[in-house]
Amino acid sequence: MRSLYGKFLLYTAGIMVFSALSAFLAVNTYYHQNLKGSNDEKNMNIVRELANYIEDAAPEDLDFYLTTQAAAGYKLLLVDENLEGKRYGQSFRLDNLEEQDVMTVLQGKDYHGMRNFPTETFVTGFFSDETANTVGVPFTYKGAEYALFLRPDIKLLFTEVHYLLGGMVIVMAIASLLAMLIVAKRLIRPITQLTLATKKVGKEEFSGILQIHQKDEIGQLAESFQKMTERLGENDLIRKKFISDVSHDFQSPLLNIKGYAGLLMDDTLPAEERSGYAKVIQSETDRLSSLTKQLLLLTSLDQMMSPLKPVTYDVSEQLRDTVRKYRWLLEEKQVSLSMEIEDAELTGDPAFLEKVWENLLSNALKYTNDYGTIEVSLVSDETNVTIMIGDSGIGIAEENLPHIFNRFYREDDSRTIAAEGTGLGLSIVQQVVELHNGSISVESEKGQGTVFTLALPKM
C-alpha cells in the first residue's frame, strides 16, 4: 500500500501533467478557432510584399535577395514553371506540399495553407514545420512564372525574452514541485504522529501526549484525539476498578456462604446454630441476587439495551405506592414519615423511575435510626416536577459528598451497616435521572441527616 506521502506526490505530479496537457489543448484549440485565420493573413501580406518587390524592382540576384529575407526569420520555397523548387533558410521538417497546390499558385491563385491546415485536437498548427503549412503567391520575374511559399522560422522567432520566459516557467514548475514536497512532509508529519498514537491506544497505552499545536483541521483532530485518549484512560481505570470492586463484592458473600455451608455439614451442630447459619447463607444469597440485578440494570443503562419507554403517567400516585411498600419497615423501626405530595403527571419511563424512588427510600430507611424521621415531598409547576426525600439519619461527611454517585462507593464507617448494600443504588439513580434530562442534588451533614432533591421535566 502506498504511503500518504507517496500518494500526495503522485497526485501532485498527475495534476501538473494534467494541467500542462489541458493548457496545451486549450491553447491549441484557441489557435485553430481564433488565431489561425489572422496568422494566415499576416503571413500572406508578408509574402505578397516580397513578390511585389521582386516584380517591381527586379533584383539582379534573386537568390541573394531571397537568402537575405530568409535570414530575417522566414523559411522560403521557390518553385519555377518546371516544378523545380529551391529552399531558402532552414529546411522544412516535412515536405508535403501537393503538386496540385503548386500548379494552382503558378496559375495565378494564392495558397492559404495556414488557414486551411487541418483543425485537429493534437495538431499544433502554429508549430507544424511543413511545406503544406505555408502561404504562397505567384509572381513574374524576368518573363518567367514562379510560386513563392513562406512560413516563419519558429526557431529564429524565439528571442532571448522567450527563452527567459520559458526558463522562468520551468524554474517555477520545479520550485513548485519542491515546495509541494516540503508542504506534504509537514502536512503528513502530524498524521504520522496520530497513527503512532492510535497504535499505542490499541495497546492500552493512554499516557502519551501529542506534540501537535496546529490551529487547522489537523490540529483540531489532534486535540479531539488527545481528549478521547484521556477519556479512554479514565474509563480504563474506572473499568479496572469496577472489575476489582465487583470481584470483591462477589467474593465476600461467596466466602461466607462457603464457610457457613461447611459448618452446616457438622451433624452435631445444635438446631439453633444451624438455623442462624442458614439465615446468614440466605442473607448473603439475597445480597448476591440484589447485586446481580443492579449490575444488569447498570449494564442496560450504559448500553441502552433496554431504552426508555416514556409514557405520560401519574408520578404522584407512583411515589405514594412506593412509600406504602415500606410501611412495614417504617412501623418496625418506629420511624415517623411525613408526606406532602401534590398531584402531578410527567412523561417518563415508570419502571426506571420506580427504581429511583425505591433506592432513595430504602437508603433513607436503612441509615435512619429507630424513632427517626423521613420526609417526602413532591412539588409541581408548569415545566418541572421536584421530588425531595430527606431523612434524619447518620448523614454523609462533606468530603465524601462528591463521590456518593460513584459505583461501589461506600463510606468506611457506620454507613456500611447494611451488609446487603452494594454501592450501586445511587449510581443507578443518577443515570436514570440524567436519561430523563433531569438533575439530582444532595445536602447532608454528618449526624444530622441527608436530603436528596430531584428535578424532572414534565415533557
Q: What are the pLDDT digits (tens) for 250-276? A: 777 788 888 888 888 888 888 888 888
Per-residue confidence (pLDDT) for residue 419, from 0 to 100: 41
Of 121, 94, 409, 422, the closest CA to residue 252 belongs to: 422
Q: Residue 19, SS3?
A: helix
Q: What is the CA radius of gyration of the chain?
A: 49
Angle among Cα 337, 340, 346 to the nearest 5 degrees reads 120
**Helix ranges, 309-424 (H):** 315-325, 327-333, 350-366
Residue-wise pLDDT tens digits, 110-168: 999 888 887 665 556 667 788 888 999 999 998 899 999 999 887 766 655 556 667 78
> pLDDT at residue 305 above 60?
no
Q: What are the structural domain ranges in the chain? A: 4-158, 203-307, 308-457
Q: Which three cell numbers stand for residue 68?
A: 537575405
Per-residue confidence (pLDDT) for residue 209, from 0 to 100: 67
Q: Which three cell numbers stand for residue 2?
A: 502506498
The stretch 178-182 carries a mean pLDDT of: 80
Per-residue confidence (pLDDT) for residue 318, from 0 to 100: 93
Q: Which three cell numbers stand for residue 295?
A: 449490575
Per-residue confidence (pLDDT) for residue 389, from 0 to 100: 94
Residue type, 227: K
Per-residue confidence (pLDDT) for residue 1, from 0 to 100: 43
For the ranges 33-42, 50-59, 195-204, 397-406, which has the lowest average pLDDT?
195-204
The residue behind cell 455439614 is: 265
Of 49, 40, 147, the closest CA to residue 104 belongs to: 147
The stretch 238-258 carries a mean pLDDT of: 74
Q: Residue 137, SS3?
A: strand
Residue 420 CA to its chain's centroid (Å): 48
Dihedral, CA of residue 266, residue 272, residue 278 and residue 282, to nearest 10: -170
- Which pLDDT band holds residue 185 (cuts at 50, 70, 90)? confident
Per-residue confidence (pLDDT) for residue 162, from 0 to 100: 56
Angle among Cα 456, 457, 458 to the nearest 5 degrees reads 115
First to last CA, the chain: 54
Per-residue confidence (pLDDT) for residue 7, from 0 to 100: 73
Per-residue confidence (pLDDT) for residue 420, from 0 to 100: 47
**Helix ranges, 342-450 (H):** 350-366, 425-435
Residues 6+ apart with CB under 8 A from 265: none
Per-residue confidence (pLDDT) for residue 440, from 0 to 100: 93
> pLDDT at residue 277 above 60?
yes
Residue-wise pLDDT tens digits, 80-119: 988 899 999 888 888 889 999 999 999 999 999 888 887 6
For the ranges 55-64, 287-296, 338-347, which has the lowest average pLDDT?
287-296
Residue type, 405: F
**Percentage, residues of the chain above pLDDT 90:** 24
> pLDDT at residue 236 above 80?
no
Pick the CATH number of 308-457 from 3.30.565.10, 3.40.50.970, 2.60.120.920, 3.40.630.30: 3.30.565.10
Tell me 218's DSSP state: H
Cα–Cα distance, 254 to 331 (Å, whole number): 32
**Helix ranges, 137-216 (H):** 154-157, 160-202
The stretch 377-382 carries a mean pLDDT of: 92
Q: Which three cell numbers stand for residue 214?
A: 496546529
Cα–Cα distance, 195 to 248 (Å, whole number): 38
Written out in words, the top-level CATH class of the domain with range 203-307 is mainly alpha
Per-residue confidence (pLDDT) for residue 307, from 0 to 100: 63
Residues 6+ apart with CB under 8 A from 454: 356, 386, 387, 388, 433, 438, 439, 440
> pLDDT at residue 346 above 50?
yes
Tell me 359's DSSP state: H
Per-residue confidence (pLDDT) for residue 116, from 0 to 100: 84
Angle among Cα 376, 313, 429 to the nearest 5 degrees reads 50
Q: Which three cell numbers stand for residue 51?
A: 513578390
Cα–Cα distance, 420 to 413 (Å, whole number): 15
Per-residue confidence (pLDDT) for residue 76, from 0 to 100: 92
Per-residue confidence (pLDDT) for residue 413, from 0 to 100: 45
Per-residue confidence (pLDDT) for residue 418, from 0 to 100: 41
Residue-wise pLDDT tens digits, 399-415: 888 888 877 676 654 44
- Which pLDDT band holds residue 48 (cuts at 50, 70, 90)? very high
Give the fold, CATH level 3, of 4-158: Beta-Lactamase (3.30.450)
Mean model confidence pLDDT for the chain: 82
C-beta of residue 97 within 8 angstroms of C-beta of residue 134? yes
The stretch 29-50 carries a mean pLDDT of: 84
**Percentage, residues of the chain above pLDDT 70:** 85
Per-residue confidence (pLDDT) for residue 157, from 0 to 100: 63
For the ranges 4-8, 287-291, 400-404, which has the lowest average pLDDT?
4-8
The stretch 223-243 carries a mean pLDDT of: 74
